[in-house]
């Protein structure tokens, strides 16, 4: 019987982080970031680093007989569900201040 878990993926221009938790999200099972698998700091957010991070998390998930998300299926894990929980801005950014220069 396989266990279920949730994988949280944070990807920015500078780094990629993956966190594997149990189904409630309370217990962390495994975590990995670009700094753990890549030596050059400027390559932490690269696709190669993301692939290596996913492989590391997949190995740790396989040790606990857990299923995972689609990006980890190459490692032989099963997809249960995929959800997009990206926050949506409500009102956008603040407008620029009006220029108050010298009056003639």
pTM: 0.62
Burial label for 41, CB within 10 Å (0-12, 13-18, 19+), is exposed
* CB contact at 8 A, 28 and 21: yes
Structural domains of the chain, ranges and CATH numbers in brackets: 5-75 (3.30.420.80)
Output DSSP code: residue 71.
G
Give kind and range of the element (H or E) at residue 60: helix 47-63
Q: Decide if pLDDT at 34 tops 60.
A: yes
Model pLDDT, residue 91: 72
Model pLDDT, residue 77: 63
Distance CA 20, CA 79 (A): 14
Q: Decide if pLDDT at 74 tops 60.
A: yes
Q: Decide if pLDDT at 68 tops 50.
A: no
């Amino acid at each position: 019987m396989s266990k279920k878990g949730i994988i949280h993926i944070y990807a920015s221009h500078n780094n990629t982080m993956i966190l594997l938790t149990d189904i409630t999200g309370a217990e962390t099972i495994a975590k990995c970031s670009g700094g753990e698998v890549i030596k050059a700091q400027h390559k932490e957010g690269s696709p190669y680093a993301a692939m290596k991070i996913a492989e590391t998390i997949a190995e740790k998930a396989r040790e606990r007989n857990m299923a995972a998300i689609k990006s980890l299926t190459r490692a032989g894990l099963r997809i249960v569900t995929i959800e997009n929980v990206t926050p949506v801005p409500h009102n956008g950014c603040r407008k620029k201040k009006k220029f108050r220069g010298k009056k003639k």
